[in-house]
Structure 1
């Protein structure tokens, strides 16, 4: 069967389905045409009773004339089509294999459809490393030939027209590309790692299991708005979504799940009678520090924390990417000891946060994780979670913020509404809860020979630091 359309007047547009291509002057429509949007534009649909467009038209409430025999013969309403569509089917959840009711299946398919529709508006993708595409591409698929990876000077880039929309992993993209595209009237959004990312470090080339795609800006740059900031400032986050966020938050805390995996072993901190304060280091040239760190670095943060907490037991935790030997931000141990009582290089961040009373940070995601665990958080920069009434903020908060949000509203926007998640087992887009299931059951590992090589390289760098006198 082939899709065809009758070129009728505005008062009587029809979509005619059947083996009539090339007859009666009827133009053919590509098989890639979206039947829902095609049917939405039709005043009348004439279709074979076994054609999917007949069902689509009835579901949309369009006048439909059915020809011949088929599953939709005699159907006259959306309810009748819906009943026939699910009759006799054994519906299963693709992630768990358990039975799923029709409403749940439709909700899942609708979510996938929204993702595909969003991706169809992306004309090109820049800066996604090949090792990340093994997971990222599934979250950017447009139902056809996308994602359309491009380079600054290739034919796809040259052919972009004004009004096109692209996304870029800007830290891995030529610095002049976004400005050059913007000058041509092309909207440049951003793609970045999500907040529940993987088992293992991105610096070790472990591909992400969640990403964010932000067409307004990016969440960690307070210089301009972002889609996340818009959600927090404007979205109506209702009671059902808040309850879902609370349940997700409680699961993450109970399982010790953070950005880079799961760890639940408690951390012993010997500081009897003293307030315990965690200061997490960050990557010095990370864009979140450069854009939202208020001009400070790890040493300045440590010094400020000591100034504000003179009697506290301060624990400094170097960033894992820095400790792995891949990124900037290293502070020699004798310097750290001038300001911190303890250095914790090995403990996973989640149980370490559980073991302290408070946290000081520039822009680290650890501050958000501390909020989820009920800890007092002081921000010295301007992270995305500052300015909503949940933190003590020492940085210059943009006037765009200021709305009071509850913790579960913050969690709902940050972990449910904003990111995209991939199930590492089925490689299908999923909810955050499914990814948490995989993390809890240790089924979220995505490894490769490149990961092993990067881990070995990091070990060599750490040994060089230790024995080269830079510890």
Structure 2
């Protein structure tokens, strides 16, 4: 690597703060600049080491009693985040073999190495460059953990930055409530903050001062009320927008989730982190280019929230205007909180009023079709309004064949936007109100920003959700998950998934016999 490349990598590493135990805890530190002494046996530093009066923080493997020369004691021990510990330091004193010196020097903090070691000269620009080059190249050729192929150091720094960002966003969330046991193995890695994550089954298990991640639809109103009375910070967790190759109602674990400290992204009555991103974030050219490429990969691969479509477009039935109307689970929180249209039949009637001469195709929601959730329309009532009920064809194929898509709050509207289709919303989904849709639902006065399609994609699919690689079980980028789904690398269905699908089939059969 050239000197310029090493300097650029050093600046990038310092900017994203990766290296060392960056997942470690972040203890309270003095408010004023301090001297950080990293040693097994903390000793009182001499006045020339402190550079001025002020506190001294002793960081040692074992807890020791002691005080600095002003009588103010700061003793810490264990695996802490080194970037946090040097953030307020004016000087770091450590053995010349200690990586904390490299961290401090990269952050521009003065260092005092003790003895001989690889970091003895990091206090000078040339010494820092030499130590960083040796440190980065010491492990041989790095490998991409997802592909197993050789990777650049810059690419691995970018991946570590993703993991660092995820950990920092999870800090303070110590436990989760309302998570089905079959979801927990894929959700836990996406909520990890460096400490073991606990799934709670009882109210008494909550720890004082920690936030609780909640899957609210599975928590009783009484329990939520008690948590609110206790002042517990509740964090919303929901399925992500590229979820899995299978239904949640069939107990297929999610490979993507969204975690929101403000509110549910589908509830327009209050802001969410996604809404704030869309309203305030500056999305630069590089991120826009990435969003465009991701969108094109999703569309080309036929990928939607629950499936990967391989079906090609079919010839149109007739030459008139064709409208696709995706149904929803009628008691889903996105419908209850995001719209005044609370039934699929009412939605169809509204669409017919807007499109009296069009051919309307109705696609029931897959969870409803699976027999697990409410929202089924009797066939005769449905066909009195719609021209056809399409049950088994992929939603992405139907979007491709339609001239336009009408939705209540369905994610299918967002998927249609990505495929270049005009979308009319009858409720208030997260993608409404930004100038990309025709909105017939309630006004959304907080949403004043006009967004391009790729800005919407960047916020919705890159900045907001978390993704898990189904092969390595590591947090990953959306691109990795999209590639895995396109390559059919999702986990095979287990016994629970197969049992749920069989149960749904029995429900559908019973409903058919009873005329429902």
Q: TM-score, normalised by structure 2?
A: 0.85
Distance 1:17 1:341, change over 3 A: closer
What is the rounded CA distance, in whole Å, between the counterparts of 1:274 and 1:4 in structure 2?
82
Taking the aligned partners of 2:243 and 2:489, their CA distance within structure 1 comes to: 14
Q: What aligned pairs does 1:386-465 form with structure 2 within 5 A after superposition? A: 386-465=432-511
Deviation at 1:436, TM superposition (A): 0.6
Of 194, 197, 213, 1:143 maps to 194
Checking the alignment, whether the CA contact within 8 Å between 1:200 and 1:206 is kept in structure 2 is yes
CA shift, 1:274, in A, is 0.6
Seen in structure 2, the aligned counterparts of structure 1 residues 448 and 69 have a Cα distance that, compared at 3 Å, is farther
Match of 1:82 among 132, 146, 164: 132
Assess, with a 3 A threshold, how the Cα gap between structure 1 residues 56 and 335 changes in structure 2: closer, same or farther: same
Paired residues, what number? Answer: 465
| Preserved contact between residue 91 and residue 101 of structure 1 (Cα < 8 Å) | yes
Secondary structure of 1:125's partner?
strand
The 5-angstrom pairing of residues 277-426 of structure 1 reads: 277-426=323-472
Distance in 2 between the 1:174 and 1:462 partners?
Answer: 28
Instruction: Write the distance in 2 (CA, Å) between the matches of 1:279 and 1:102.
Output: 47
Which stretch shows the higher mean deviation, 178-187 or 326-335? 178-187
Aligned counterpart, 1:234: 280
Residue 133 of structure 1 is matched in structure 2 by 184
CA positional deviation for 1:17: 6.3
Residues 51-70 of structure 1: per-residue CA shift (max 9 Å, x gap): 22222222222222222333
Q: 2:40, 2:215 → 1: CA distance?
A: 39
1:153 aligns with 2:153: no
Q: CA deviation at 1:72?
A: 1.9
Q: How far apart are residue 100 of structure 1 and its match?
A: 1.9
Structure 2 counterpart of 1:41: 88
- Answer yes or no: is 1:11 the counterpart of 2:53: yes
User: What secondary structure is seen at the aligned counterpart in 2 of 1:123?
Assistant: strand
Task: Give the counterpart of 2:77 among 26, 30, 54.
Answer: 30
CA deviations on 1:298-331 (whole Å, 9 max, x unpaired) are 0001111111111111101111100100000011
Q: Give the 3 Å change call, closer, same or farther, for CA 28–233 of structure 1 in structure 2.
A: closer
2-structure distance, mates of 1:186, 1:467: 48
**TM-score normalised by length of structure 1:** 0.93
Runs of 5+ unmatched residues, structure 2: 1-37, 69-73
Distance in 1 of aligned mates of 2:413 and 2:61: 62
Unaligned runs of 5+ in 1: none
SS at match of 2:361: strand
Query: 2: CA distance between counterparts of 1:71 and 1:384?
Result: 52
User: Is this contact kept in 2: 1:6–1:15, CA < 8 A?
Assistant: no
Q: Is the 8 A contact 2:268 2:338 kept in 1?
A: yes
1:410 and 1:4 map into 2 onto residues whose CA distance is: 54
1:132/1:117 CA distance change after superposition, 3 Å: same
Superposed CA RMSD in Å reads: 2.2
Show the counterpart of 2:23.
none
- SS in structure 2 opposite 1:211? strand
Q: Distance in 2 between matches of 1:21 and 1:222?
A: 50
CA contact (8 A) 2:62 2:77 kept: no
Relative distance call for 1:7 and 1:224 in structure 2 (3 A) is farther
CA distance in 2, matches of 1:22, 1:385: 55
Match of 1:433, SS?
helix
1:462 Cα offset (Å): 1.7
